[in-house]
Amino acid sequence: MLIIPAIDLKGGKSVRLYKGAFEKELFKKDPMEMALKFKKAGAKRLHIIDLDGAQQGAPVNLDIALNIKRKTDLEVEFGGGIRSLETLEKLLSTDIDYFIITTLFLREKENLKKQKKRIIVSIDIDEQGFLKTYGWQRKENIRGTELLEEAISEGFENFIITFTHKDGTLEGLDTSLIEKFTKNGVAKIVFAGGVSSLEDIEKAKRAGAYGIIIGRAFYEGTIPLEVIKGAC
């Protein structure tokens, strides 16, 4: 199973928010320093989210992500503020490997099919399993499992399932929802939100996850970086 360290960009720094709340910033780190540390630990891919972009509706910290890609030569999945086809087309011309979208997928899925190999559909859900969009500010009347089935039927295969009510809390994955997303056995499912221990990693692995994204637990040391090399 793939272990993917997270770098969330806000104001040019790598930060961690509590449940996605911009006013609840837990720490600030140098993003390049963290990227190189993750590379040294054996990471194959980095999860980079432009929090400023998610809030403003267009990427803000893309240059940092591109610089990390150049300096580390790791796979990079980038998201945050990719809400138009024009923006996505510009990003596809860069060296970044994958682009994470939610809101745009709901509006333009037919126009995204030709690029589906480089698109990761992010299914960000609340404790009831309902989808959250526009930087987690809007709750949609559709369950994450429904969106997953729809996207799979359209030929998309890469997904991130984020438990927004757990993100940045170190409370552990929402195990009541995990297997609802992996039972189809077709898609590449990556889980995020609340990962706090080696037990969370094992739970995701047993459920059939393709990968798991780890943020705060790496930054605060509740999960050792050594697990990256062992799991990749």
- Measured CA to CA, the distance from residue 2 to residue 70 in angstroms comes to 21
9 within 8 A of 50, measured Cβ to Cβ: yes
Q: Cα dist. 27→21, 150, 191, 223 in Å?
A: 13, 37, 22, 17
81 within 8 A of 87, measured Cβ to Cβ: yes
Is 52 annotated as catalytic? no
Residue type, 19: K
Token digits for 128? 């009831």
Residue 121: CB atoms within 10 A of its CB come to 26
- Measured CA to CA, the distance from residue 186 to residue 30 in angstroms comes to 37
Q: Which of 52, 124, 174, 200 is catalytic?
A: 124
- Measured CA to CA, the distance from residue 87 to residue 224 in angstroms comes to 36
Token digits for 202? 């094992």
Token digits for 6? 């997270």
| Residues with a known catalytic role | 8, 124
